[in-house]
Amino acid sequence: MSKDSSGSSLHRSFCRLCYNACDMDVTVVDGKVTKVRGHPENPVYQGFTCLKGRVQPELLRSPERLLHSRRRLPDGSHDTVAFDAAVQDIAARLGRIRDSHGPDAIAFYYGTMATNGVLTRAVLTALRTAIGSRLIFSPATVDKAGKQVAAALHGRWGAPPSGYSEPEIAVLVGINPLVSYQGAPRGNPGKWLRAQAERGMHLAVIDPRRTETARRADTFLQPRPGHDTAILAAMLHVVLAEGLHDAEFVARHVEGVERLRRAVAGFDPATVAREADLDEEALVSLARRFGSTRRGYVSVGTGPNMSGPGTLVEYLALCLDTLCGHVTREGEVVSSAPALLPAGPYHARMTPPWRGADLEPRMPAAGLSTSAAGPPIAGLPAEMAAGHVRALVSCGGNPASAWPGQRAVVSALAGLDLLVQVDPFMSNTARLADYVIAPRMPLETAEMTQHLDMMSALSIGYGVEESYAQHTAAVVDPPAGSEVVEEWRFYFEVGRAMGLQLLLPRAGAAPHRLDMDRAPEAEELLDLLAEGARIELDVVRAADGGSRYPLPENRVLPAEPGWTGKADVGNARMMAALTAPAEPTTTDPSDLRLIPRRVQHVFNSSHHHPSTAHGGLDNPAFLHPQDLLERGLAPGDAVVVASTVGSLRTTVRPDPSLRRGVVSMTHCYGGLPDDESDTTPGVNLGLIVGLETLQPYTGQPVMSNIAVSVTRAP
Ligand code: SF4
């Protein structure tokens, strides 16, 4: 921290409004944050922040911010409640529900915002475990369940992905790192892509929309929605038919190649290109280029993951990388080794597949089971309606806006015996909640970037390029006169009031028995969670800012003697799904298909706030100008967008970057359904995207490539 003569002080911190964790300079005057800017000398971020991060002074001082917790009254309104009183009543009610209906009658949900909160997730997990509930839900089963299930069906290399280390090629399928900060390393995606282009990396983007990233691509394929599996299968067809794969690597580490070869035999590029409306030569050329590289990656985004065969798309992407030997090889340095978690040892071998679906706990009312991505959110409304789940504790997200099937979700949430929402604003879910716990906001809390290490292990597309870490102390105190608490403290106090012993889960050490006689400090918990990390947290603290933590001698070791595990690129269920694609596709140019659209000024269901609204808080339907013209529609016209699930009213806007036949809208907008008094801008896609059609394996709702009509509103 530095201070000048005017009393203004400058602090290093990092942003926690999304998982990109931008390193920031925070100006504080009279105890208030007045300005946030990217720290210019950070080697990874190079001064980068987005609009959301920079408006934190306005978010902190927003008149809509909750400065005290709220309790719902019988008439549906909320009044202020003291934190201690809220904790005591919540603990008593949770205890009664657990005693009467069992621990699985209490469910927990953490949204995307909680992904960045290492303390929040750890203490929440400690509370859930002490209660005995197995029902912890996350957005993984809304937009990317296929990633973890595909990894389980395929197997995993014994070292972190190599994709970001001097790639020769990157293939981005339905992913736009310049807006979502996924598909390129955490940090500054624009500068990273430019640097890779200067190195000679070939950037290929496959997307129905010419996105911000697609405009920089060397190869851009703009297919009809619903053809992602066929396109990746055609690439595999070319790679295998022309023998471009890394035969030596495959012979040693991979099985199922002949099954895969037979399954992709029917995906000849000419047919696939014709049906997807692509240039055949461009598709074949991309496959050949990919097959001849030994460093690179495929990364699949939420669009394909939200479509019917999300798991299959992810599986085929893994197959492409594996066949081409895109792994960190024996003797190579593991550049992305975790900093704030234990690292290695890493071995040059494949962990064979493990069970990724049909797991416990089951959700009998919904007829669903758990997958490697967790229990499916799609099952919760049915379990709630059946009385199996009677309480939900939710943080870091906004289920009433984020989960598809909005009417069913809202009805189920409203019928709970107890709904607790931790939220700095009166979101849709907060409005339904029995208790709304007012939390501190990020710059008022201490934290570390351990989540970057956790996400690096999840899949290519989420991690860092090089080992990196940052710690931040709380930069400012909460507003005077407020009673806002660190989120983790709420879970600790509920556990204490229930008479539970909380065990803090840790990646690098045994669970730690928290002293329930006194509330711990945040820094104390951070130290406990970082125990066993490759880099001591005190070293990261002392750096006062984000730094790289390379460890040159951290090399991939040979496989252990006698190791026989192999990846499987010919999983029977995946091959069966490939030869009988479940996804509806269309070649009729007059059909319209709904696809998701990420926008810079909100983060899923969070930050829908006027201060970030430079892009508007409405949620128009974007169509190609020619599609508007053919329907006699002009920009701004009011329309009805309808699917088999329902309909919504919005306005239309032209977007020439879309291909014809596509309607592009953003999830998580709008207020509560059927509430005439609700003046929340925008409209929620959960009115036309429901819980009726679920992906196999994961139970994730199909939320993309949905047939819709767009007609002038009466
Ligand atoms: S919200 Fe913006 S500033 Fe904050 S971490 Fe994400 S990209 Fe960075």
What CATH number should be reported for the domain holding residue 600? 2.40.40.20
Mutation pick for ligand 1 pocket among 26, 35, 44, 52 (CB with most ligand atoms within 8 Å): 52
> Does residue 134 fall inside a structural domain?
no
Which residues, in sequence order, are bridge partners of residue 32? 29
If asked whether residues 308 and 176 sit together in one domain, one would say yes
According to the model, what pLDDT value does residue 675 have?
Answer: 81
According to the model, what pLDDT value does residue 583 have?
Answer: 53
Whether 439 has a pLDDT exceeding 90, the answer reads yes
Higher pLDDT, 144 or 439: 439
> Does residue 673 fall inside a structural domain?
yes
> Does residue 213 fall inside a structural domain?
yes
Determine contact, residues 416/390, Cβ cutoff 8 Å: yes
If asked whether residues 572 and 599 sit together in one domain, one would say no
Q: Which of 579, 600, 616 is the last residue of a domain?
A: 579
User: Which of 360-367's residues contact partners 24+ apart within 8 Å by CB, and which partners?
Assistant: 360/134, 361/104, 361/134, 361/135, 363/388, 364/388, 366/699
Please report the atom of ligand 1 found closest to the CA of residue 20.
Answer: 5
According to the model, what pLDDT value does residue 579 have?
Answer: 87
Mutation pick for ligand 1 pocket among 50, 443, 599 (CB with most ligand atoms within 8 Å): 50
Mutation pick for ligand 1 pocket among 13, 14, 20 (CB with most ligand atoms within 8 Å): 20
According to the model, what pLDDT value does residue 83 have?
Answer: 98
If asked whether residues 169 and 250 sit together in one domain, one would say yes
If asked whether residues 696 and 574 sit together in one domain, one would say no
Mutation pick for ligand 1 pocket among 181, 182, 192, 601 (CB with most ligand atoms within 8 Å): 181
If asked whether residues 672 and 572 sit together in one domain, one would say no
Please report the atom of ligand 1 found closest to the CA of residue 21.
Answer: 5
* Residues 323-333, mean pLDDT to the nearest whole number: 93
Determine contact, residues 86/435, Cβ cutoff 8 Å: yes
22 Cα to the center of ligand 1, angstroms: 6
Question: Hey, what amino acid is at 297?
Answer: Y
According to the model, what pLDDT value does residue 489 have?
Answer: 97
Q: Whose CA is nearest to atom 4 of ligand 1?
A: 53
* Residues 539-566, mean pLDDT to the nearest whole number: 92
Nearest 5°: the CA angle 245, 152, 534 is 90
Whether 576 has a pLDDT exceeding 80, the answer reads yes
Which residues, in sequence order, are bridge partners of residue 70? 80, 436
According to the model, what pLDDT value does residue 615 have?
Answer: 55
> Please, what is the average pLDDT of the chain?
93
* Residues 267-296, mean pLDDT to the nearest whole number: 97
50 Cα to the center of ligand 1, angstroms: 5
DSSP string, 491-544: HHHHHHHTT---EE--SSS--EE--TTSPPPHHHHHHHHTTT-SS-HHHHHHH-
Helices (H) and strands (E) in the chain, counts: 26, 33
77 Cα to the center of ligand 1, angstroms: 34
425 Cα to the center of ligand 1, angstroms: 19
- The residue assigned the tokens 């797991």 is 359
> Does residue 271 fall inside a structural domain?
yes
| DSSP-assigned letter for residue 4 | -
Residues 6+ apart with CB under 8 A from 539: none
Higher pLDDT, 539 or 596: 539
Please report the atom of ligand 1 found closest to the CA of residue 14.
Answer: 5
Whether 180 has a pLDDT exceeding 60, the answer reads yes
If asked whether residues 187 and 254 sit together in one domain, one would say yes
Q: Which of 364, 332, 370, 324 is nearest to 348 (CA)?
A: 332
If asked whether residues 573 and 601 sit together in one domain, one would say no
Mutation pick for ligand 1 pocket among 14, 22, 60 (CB with most ligand atoms within 8 Å): 22
Please report the atom of ligand 1 found closest to the CA of residue 53.
Answer: 3
48 Cα to the center of ligand 1, angstroms: 8
525 Cα to the center of ligand 1, angstroms: 25
If asked whether residues 575 and 597 sit together in one domain, one would say no
Q: Whose CA is nearest to atom 6 of ligand 1?
A: 18
Q: Which protein residues touch ligand 1 with a CB less than 6 Å away?
A: 15, 17-18, 20-22, 49-50, 52-53, 181
If asked whether residues 193 and 318 sit together in one domain, one would say yes
> Does residue 618 fall inside a structural domain?
yes
| DSSP strands (E only) in 90-157 | 106-110, 136-137, 156-157
According to the model, what pLDDT value does residue 433 have?
Answer: 98
Please report the atom of ligand 1 found closest to the CA of residue 38.
Answer: 3
Question: Hey, what amino acid is at 341?
Answer: L
Determine contact, residues 651/639, Cβ cutoff 8 Å: yes
Q: Whose CA is nearest to atom 2 of ligand 1?
A: 50
3-state SS class at 690: coil
Residues 6+ apart with CB under 8 A from 252: none
- Tokens representing residue 508 in the block: 């690098």
Residues 143-177 have pLDDT tens digits of 889 999 999 999 999 998 778 889 999 999 999 99
Q: Which of 546, 579, 612 is the last residue of a domain?
A: 579
Please report the atom of ligand 1 found closest to the CA of residue 51.
Answer: 2
Q: Which of 587, 666, 662 is nearest to 627 (CA)?
A: 662
333 Cα to the center of ligand 1, angstroms: 29
DSSP strand pairing (638-642 vs 647-654): antiparallel
* Residues 660-679, mean pLDDT to the nearest whole number: 88
Whether 584 has a pLDDT exceeding 80, the answer reads no
If asked whether residues 669 and 571 sit together in one domain, one would say no
Residue 204: which CATH number? 3.40.228.10
20 Cα to the center of ligand 1, angstroms: 6
- Tokens representing residue 66 in the block: 């909750």
Mutation pick for ligand 1 pocket among 17, 451, 464, 470 (CB with most ligand atoms within 8 Å): 17
Determine contact, residues 38/49, Cβ cutoff 8 Å: yes
Which helix (H) or strand (E) segment is 32 a member of? strand 32-38
| Peptide bond connecting 505 to the previous residue in cis, omega within 30 degrees of 0 | no
Residues 616-657 have pLDDT tens digits of 678 999 999 999 999 999 999 999 999 999 999 999 999 999
Please report the atom of ligand 1 found closest to the CA of residue 24.
Answer: 3
613 Cα to the center of ligand 1, angstroms: 15
Residues 503-519 have pLDDT tens digits of 999 998 999 999 999 99
411 Cα to the center of ligand 1, angstroms: 33
If asked whether residues 302 and 209 sit together in one domain, one would say yes
If asked whether residues 331 and 213 sit together in one domain, one would say yes
Please report the atom of ligand 1 found closest to the CA of residue 54.
Answer: 3
Task: For the chain, give the number of residues.
Answer: 714
Please report the atom of ligand 1 found closest to the CA of residue 17.
Answer: 1
According to the model, what pLDDT value does residue 381 have?
Answer: 96
189 Cα to the center of ligand 1, angstroms: 12
54 Cα to the center of ligand 1, angstroms: 8
187 Cα to the center of ligand 1, angstroms: 9
> Does residue 96 fall inside a structural domain?
no
Confidence of residue 112 (pLDDT cuts 50, 70, 90): confident
Mutation pick for ligand 1 pocket among 18, 59, 188, 606 (CB with most ligand atoms within 8 Å): 18
* Residues 530-553, mean pLDDT to the nearest whole number: 92
36 Cα to the center of ligand 1, angstroms: 11
> Does residue 552 fall inside a structural domain?
no
Question: Hey, what amino acid is at 236?
Answer: L
* Residues 327-342, mean pLDDT to the nearest whole number: 92
According to the model, what pLDDT value does residue 582 have?
Answer: 47
Q: Which of 550, 579, 608 is the last residue of a domain?
A: 579
Domain of 666?
Answer: 592-712
Other CB atoms within 10 Å distance of the CB of residue 327:
26
544 Cα to the center of ligand 1, angstroms: 19
Confidence of residue 461 (pLDDT cuts 50, 70, 90): confident
Please report the atom of ligand 1 found closest to the CA of residue 18.
Answer: 6
59 Cα to the center of ligand 1, angstroms: 14
| Peptide bond connecting 520 to the previous residue in cis, omega within 30 degrees of 0 | no
In 132-223, which ranges are continuous DSSP H helix?
Answer: 140-143, 145-154, 177-180, 189-199
> For the chain, what is the domain count?
2
CA-CA distance, 343 to 336, in Å (whole number)?
10
Q: C-alpha dihedral over 68, 73, 77, 79, to 10 degrees? A: -20
> Does residue 300 fall inside a structural domain?
yes
Determine contact, residues 68/56, Cβ cutoff 8 Å: no
